[in-house]
Structure 1
Amino acid sequence: MPQPNLNQLAKMAQKMQADMAAAQEALASEEVEASAGGGMVTVKITGDLQIKAITIDPDAVDPEDVEMLQDMILAAVNQAVNQAQELAATRMGAVTGGLGGPGGAGGLGGLLGM
C-alpha cells in the first residue's frame, strides 16, 4: 500500500484552511433578506449571521395586537438566519469540496485545526 505524501497533504490542508478563511470573510459582506407578514417586517442579515437591519412597516404596529408584531419579527429573523446558514453552507461547501461537518472541516478529523 503506497504511503501518502504528507507534505502534499499538509499543503492541501493549508490551502483549504486559507480558502475557508477567505470564504468566511466574504460571508461577512454578503447579505440576505427575509420578510414576514406580507412584507410588513423585513430583516437583513449577513452570511456570518450579523443582523444588519430590521424594518417594520408602520401599519404593522397595532397597540391592540403587539403579539402579532412579535410573531412577524420572530418569523422574519428565523427565515433570515436560515437563508444565511444556507448561503454559508453553499460557500463553504464550494471551498471544502463537500467534505462532511460544519463548514466541511468535520470530515477531516480535526486535520485543519477547525
Structure 2
Amino acid sequence: MKPDLKTIFKQIEKIQEELEKVQAELENKTVTEEVGGGMVKVTVNGKKEVISIEIDKEVVNPDDIGMLEDLLVVAVNKALQSADKMISEEIAKATSGLLPGLPGFPFNFPGFKA
C-alpha cells in the first residue's frame, strides 16, 4: 500500500520544522578537540564556527613556529569533524521515524550535507 501524498507532505513539513529547531539549538552546542597531549585545544559550535583556541605556553617556540601551525591545523580539522558528527547525530535524532519508508532520512538523499 502506497502512502498518500497528503500524509507525506505533512511529514515533510514536520521534518522541516524539526530541522529548523535543531539548527537553532546547534548554535549553542560545542565540541572541543585537543592535540599534542592537550597543548592545543579548539572549540567549535554547531554552526561550524571556531569559538576558541587555547595554546599551552610550552608549545610556543619562536624557533619552531611550524610545529604550532601544524598542531593548530590538526586541532581545527578534528574539531570540525567532531562538529559534523554532532550535527549529523542531532539531525538523525530530530528526523528519526518521521518518514518510516525512508531509513536514514535525510542522509540517504543525494547531495545532502550536514
Per the normalisation by structure 1, the TM-score is: 0.83
Per-residue CA distance 1:9-57 (angstroms, 9 max, x = gap): 1111100100011111111110000011111111010022011001111
For these two proteins, the number of residue pairs brought into alignment is 105
Aligned positions of 1:23-102 closer than 5 A: 23-97=22-96, 98-101=104-107
- Looking at structure 2, the residues matched to 3 and 53 of structure 1 have their Cα atoms a distance apart, in angstroms, of 50
Q: CA RMSD in A?
A: 2.0
Whichever residue aligns with residue 75 of structure 1, its letter is V
Per the normalisation by structure 2, the TM-score is: 0.83
- Looking at structure 2, the residues matched to 99 and 6 of structure 1 have their Cα atoms a distance apart, in angstroms, of 17
Whichever residue aligns with residue 18 of structure 2, its letter is D
Identity of aligned residues (%): 30
Aligned to 1:13: 12
